[in-house]
């Protein structure tokens, strides 16, 4: 549970990204990249049976960066950047990333600001699907994440697809949201909002 609380704090921290010095805003970079970002399925219009693990109530998926290094990333639907956040600067060194700017990740509650280097144009791959022109936020210091059993976070990139999660078999299925028919994938439930929170009865 302690790890989960730390993760929720990370989400809050990330949402308050601001530019550092005279560098370009990473949020602007993400928007520029997302306009050209693309998804390609290696077969048909879906990528099925992508394995995942549950660690401390968090979903961990295998992601290969730039066709060279496989990482274990938390799948967080609240992570709003097209790409991924990586916790260890050494990963960026191993990948030979070239950074275009630096971001300050500022949190509330007295949490010290953290910095991340920003790289664009990366490729993120999962079994059966390839995402191009992605943004990578690489933390400059690993201390805050040294006890985490993962390498980073991914979110919006996967959510650009229609996502089906099979918890019983620990597999993730991704579909082309344009051609897929949601009625073929599950059951429809009526939903309403209560004080801004979606509720299914």
Q: Tell me: the pLDDT tens digits for 14-35?
A: 443 333 333 344 444 444 444 4
- For residue 147, the enclosing domain spans 2-200
Task: Single out the residue of 43, 46, 38 nearest to residue 132, CA to CA.
Answer: 38
**Mean pLDDT for the chain?**
80
Question: Is 124 a residue whose pLDDT tops 70?
Answer: yes
Helix (H, G, I), strand (E, B) or coil at 109: coil
For a pLDDT cut of 70, what percent of the chain falls above it? 74
Question: Is 171 a residue whose pLDDT tops 60?
Answer: yes
Q: What is the mean pLDDT of residues 38-61?
A: 94
Q: For residue 33, what pLDDT is reported?
A: 42
Q: For residue 182, what pLDDT is reported?
A: 59
Q: For residue 103, what pLDDT is reported?
A: 87
The total number of structural domains that make up the chain: 1
CATH of the domain at 15: 2.40.70.10
Q: Model pTM?
A: 0.74
Longest dimension (CA), the chain: 50
Q: Reduce the secondary structure of 58-84 to three states and give it as a string.
A: EEEEEEEECCCEEEEEEECCCCCCCEE
Q: For residue 145, what pLDDT is reported?
A: 77
* Across 41-55, 141-155, 175-189, least confident range: 175-189
Task: Single out the residue of 39, 8, 41, 62 nearest to residue 170, CA to CA.
Answer: 62
In angstroms, the first-to-last Cα distance of the chain is 27
**CA quadruple 174, 179, 183, 189: dihedral positive or negative?**
positive
């Amino acid at each position: 549970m302690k790890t989960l609380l730390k993760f929720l704090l990370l989400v809050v921290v990330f949402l308050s990204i601001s530019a550092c010095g005279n560098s370009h805003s990473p949020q602007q970079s993400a928007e520029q990249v997302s306009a050209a970002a693309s998804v390609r399925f290696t077969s048909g219009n879906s990528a099925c049976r992508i394995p995942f693990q549950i660690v401390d109530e968090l979903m961990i998926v295998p992601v290969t960066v730039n066709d060279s290094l496989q990482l274990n990333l938390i799948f967080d639907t609240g992570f709003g950047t097209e790409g991924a956040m990586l916790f260890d600067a050494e990963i960026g060194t191993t990948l030979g990333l070239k950074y275009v700017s630096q971001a300050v990740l500022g949190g509330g509650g007295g949490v010290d600001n953290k910095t991340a280097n920003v790289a664009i144009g990366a490729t993120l791959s999962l079994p059966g699907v390839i995402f191009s022109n992605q943004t990578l936020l690489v933390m400059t210091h690993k201390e805050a994440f040294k006890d985490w059993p993962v390498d980073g976070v991914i979110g919006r990139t996967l959510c650009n697809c229609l996502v089906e999660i099979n918890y019983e078999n620990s597999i993730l299925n991704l579909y082309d949201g344009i051609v897929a028919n949601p009625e073929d994938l599950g059951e429809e439930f009526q939903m309403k909002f209560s004080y801004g929170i979606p509720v299914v009865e």
